[in-house]
Amino acid sequence: MDLVRIARENGVVGAGGAGFPTHVKLAAKAEYFILNGAECEPLLRVDQQLIKAYAPEIISGIKKVMETVGAAKAFIAIKGKHKEAIDRVNECIDDSCMTVVLLEDFYPAGDEQVLVYEVLKRVVPEMGIPLKVGCVVMNTETVLNIYNSMSQVPVTDTYLTITGKVSKPVTLKLPIGTSVRDALNHCGVTDTRGVKVIDGGPMMGKIIGDLDDPITKTTKGLIVLDEEHMLIKRKSMPLERARRIARVACEQCRMCTDLCPRYLLGHNMQPHKMMRKVVHKYQNLEEAEIAFLCCECNLCELYACPVNITPKSVNVFYKGLLLEKGIKYIPDKTEFIPRPTRDYRKVPVKRLIQKLGLNVYDKAAPLLDLYFTPDRIRMPLKQHTGAPAIPVVSLGQLVNKGDLIGEIPENALGARVHASISGKVTAIDQFITIQS
Ligand code: SF4
Ligand code: SF4
């Protein structure tokens, strides 16, 4: 069976981002393949440890992906600071078509477009994807899932780092659909009064509203912080309030633009211009379309702005308005040249951690075999880009771990979902609940 079909059947999606269905990526043809092992979000420790622990499996997965997309060369991109992972990969590489690329420790080195430039010195055009410059990029865990799918093992578990205000930060594998509360309890966090939990990294992650929500195929981290922590306060600010504050406080210093990774790649993302718009004529959407060039990395908002206001949120606000009106951004060129200052404007992760007030939590989170099977999981039918999966089980049905429970709707972009524990189906709504 070909890899496109195998990945589709086994529900493989991009494990590190929006959950783009991997079978669609695999159906493309590309010159190069890049393994994204950058893991640039502070405090997360998944990819660097998976590369070390599963180097032969990941290399095997890369070979199969290269064969499928027709790539002549693969680059394994890892930060130079992860020496053990690099040594392990170099020990296992047995093919001259594969090279390890050492990345500097800056944020957001793992942004797909930044990564492609770091590795290939090619700029992905505005609104484009890496395929536009001949390459396919996949996250480390995605490739591990592809490797597993080659033995018909579907995606039922995810790796994540649990860190922050916890006694022992840890990285572990858990069944998808496990509640955040169960995951935290399992790692010794039993009292959640006075804390909030971020799903993902501190920069792009979102605060989890309900700890009974499940972890998904794309959950990479749970960061526990005091509810008074600056990051929690900044992330809790309602969009409308952020917009109102932005209107009165922006100094037009341009720091947000000068450090914006997409601007530095030569794109036309200029957050200070969006701030000017929100100040003077916020309902006028003329020239607001550049908001679509924002990848929401949050660097402008959580690092660059000297008065702590919210250019990223302003972009998000405008994206919403523009989408409502059906207005799109249409690039007026296809070739982009990075700004000459780019090399001096990379934000070191260490400095970012300091600015975010996270030094005290910047600790190792070892990958441990702490797998557990919860009594109950709630498997979301939508945890990927595209249409929600359609349930193919009925109430009361008994399922085994790995059984197909949600199918891709006909002719739609989507991903299958599989049972992550064995048990009885007890509810079907936007989730399939399984009780052991
Ligand atoms: S960095 Fe802050 S103050 Fe300066 S232009 Fe951007 S939003 Fe305005
Ligand atoms: S969040 Fe800010 S820094 Fe990041 S791409 Fe958007 S405008 Fe640029």
- Can you tell me which residue has the tokens 């794309």? 218
**Cα 378 to averaged position of ligand 1 atoms, centre (Å):** 42
Percent of the chain with pLDDT over 90: 90
| Atom number, ligand 1, closest to the C-alpha of residue 251 | 3
User: What one-letter code names the amino acid at 330?
Assistant: I
For residue 287, pLDDT over 90 is answered with no
Provide mean pLDDT across the span 411-429: 97
Q: What is the pLDDT of residues 70-129, one digit of tens each?
A: 999 999 999 999 999 999 999 999 888 999 999 999 999 999 999 999 999 999 999 999
Percent of the chain with pLDDT over 70: 99
Please tell me the predicted confidence (pLDDT) of residue 245: 81
Please tell me the predicted confidence (pLDDT) of residue 116: 98
Distance CA 20, CA 81 (A): 29
> Which band of pLDDT confidence, cut at 50, 70 and 90, is reported for residue 285?
confident
Q: Is the CB of 251 under 6 A from ligand 1?
A: yes
**Cα 21 to averaged position of ligand 2 atoms, centre (Å):** 25
For residue 249, pLDDT over 90 is answered with no
Closest listed ligand to the CA of 261: 2
**Cα 253 to averaged position of ligand 1 atoms, centre (Å):** 5
Please tell me the predicted confidence (pLDDT) of residue 204: 96
Q: Is the CB of 274 under 6 A from ligand 1?
A: no
Q: What is the pLDDT of residues 352-374, one digit of tens each?
A: 999 999 999 999 999 999 999 99
**Cα 341 to averaged position of ligand 1 atoms, centre (Å):** 19
Please tell me the predicted confidence (pLDDT) of residue 233: 94
DSSP state of 345: -
pLDDT-wise least confident of 196-210, 217-231, 319-333: 319-333
Residue ranges of alpha helices (H) inside 217-367 are 230-236, 239-249, 255-259, 261-264, 271-280, 299, 311-324, 349-355
Q: Is the CB of 278 under 6 A from ligand 1?
A: no
For residue 279, pLDDT over 80 is answered with no
pLDDT-wise least confident of 95-99, 200-204, 258-262, 395-399: 95-99
**Cα 352 to averaged position of ligand 2 atoms, centre (Å):** 15
Please tell me the predicted confidence (pLDDT) of residue 296: 96
| Atom number, ligand 2, closest to the C-alpha of residue 301 | 2
Please tell me the predicted confidence (pLDDT) of residue 294: 97
Distance CA 9, CA 143 (A): 15
Name all residues whose Cβ lies below 6 A of ligand 2: 260-262, 269, 271, 294-300, 311-312, 315
**Cα 43 to averaged position of ligand 1 atoms, centre (Å):** 27
Q: Which domains does the chain have, with CATH numbers?
A: 3-149 (3.40.50.11540), 156-229+358-374 (3.10.20.600), 237-356 (no CATH), 375-436 (2.40.50)
For residue 343, pLDDT over 90 is answered with yes
Please tell me the predicted confidence (pLDDT) of residue 428: 98
Distance CA 377, CA 216 (A): 11
Please tell me the predicted confidence (pLDDT) of residue 18: 86
Distance CA 58, CA 37 (A): 11
Strand ranges, E, within 104-142:
106-107, 135-139
Give one DSSP letter per residue of 392-435, joined into a string: ---TT-EE-TT-EEEEPPTTS----EE-SS-EEEEEESSEEEEE
Distance CA 71, CA 63 (A): 9
> Which band of pLDDT confidence, cut at 50, 70 and 90, is reported for residue 392?
very high
| Atom number, ligand 1, closest to the C-alpha of residue 271 | 6
Q: What is the pLDDT of residues 175-198, one digit of tens each?
A: 999 999 999 999 999 999 999 999
> Which band of pLDDT confidence, cut at 50, 70 and 90, is reported for residue 54?
very high
| Closest of 430, 375, 420, 383 to residue 400, by C-alpha | 420
pTM metric for this prediction: 0.95
Please tell me the predicted confidence (pLDDT) of residue 286: 81
Please tell me the predicted confidence (pLDDT) of residue 195: 96
pLDDT-wise least confident of 28-37, 310-319, 375-384: 310-319
Pocket test residue of 305, 317, 347 for ligand 1, highest count of atoms within 8 A of CB: 305
For residue 16, pLDDT over 90 is answered with no
Q: What is the pLDDT of residues 131-153, one digit of tens each?
A: 999 999 999 999 999 999 999 99
